[in-house]
Structure 1
Amino acid sequence: MTSPISRSAFLNWFHPDLLDDRLLHGCALWQVITALGLPSDATPPPASWPLSEVFWLGFGLAVSSARADQPRPAVFRLGPRSLQAQLFCLLDPLQAAAEAVDPDPLDPEQWRFWLVPLHQLHPQRQSIGVPALLRAHGEGLHAATLLSAVHAMVRP
């Protein structure tokens, strides 16, 4: 009789690169639902990437993801205007350490978030880059402060 294959071994074999665009977005969405305390079994994995929708207490968030360590500056797609806000998720391993570290999309300390009400984004704009987010909305949020920021936006 052969020994059962562990789930972890299978996932490491089948999905060895969490930095792949589809898996990176799944990791970003995981960071968001974890920070907001949403049950993972009630939140489906992303059907498309790099843009998904999350609902928290009836509040609709478009969630988009990107990496900071690419040759070109990161650009985020914007979500549907029917939602209340856009949450931009940037994997930025340099933010977590003073020296270069390997990107780990499962480490919440390596993510930076910008929570922007959709009415603050130009209605005809389809994407936005990190430099524009920095100019308009500052350095962004950490995973630990994401819940309070969303809560403040839902219940001002």
Structure 2
Amino acid sequence: MVKVRSGASLLGADVRTPASPDEATLERVPNPHPGALYLARFTAPEFTSICPVTGQPDFATLMIDYVPGDWLVESKSFKLYLGAFRNHGAFHEDCTLRVGKDLVDALAPRWLRIGGYWYPRGGIPIDVFWQTGAPPEGLWLPDQGVPPYRGRG
């Protein structure tokens, strides 16, 4: 499980990428608009992890949409957390859900969804989607904008 800390101690500091997600810390900061219904989006187009069987690298675009409650994720800590997957061996489904669930545990958002759009390996792309439930009524929810994989033909 990821460590959670309130504040922004990593911001502006010279910090190395953690060796694994278990060594990472997600920092959270107070949401200045906790009563407002709005969506925050993170796009990670260069997410990487390692296949736990072959040790080969896997690549994905992660799209994370969340409706903040009392907390926001501090973006530098989130960037370092995502980078910690670089040498982490796990299947696509595990990586995608781990990121989503770690954010839910750290932030207690009103709602969160994650789309993991994985590049093909062995000729098969795998897209993984997870959300915490139905989006709040009245929320403007834009499309994630990542097209499904299309091969030639």
| TM-based fold match above 0.5 | no
The one of the two structures with greater contact order (alpha-carbon pairs below 8 A, sep at least 6) is 2
Structure with more of its chain in strand, by fraction: 2
The alignment's TM-score, normalised by the length of structure 1, stands at 0.23
The alignment's TM-score, normalised by the length of structure 2, stands at 0.24
Structure with more of its chain in helix, by fraction: 1
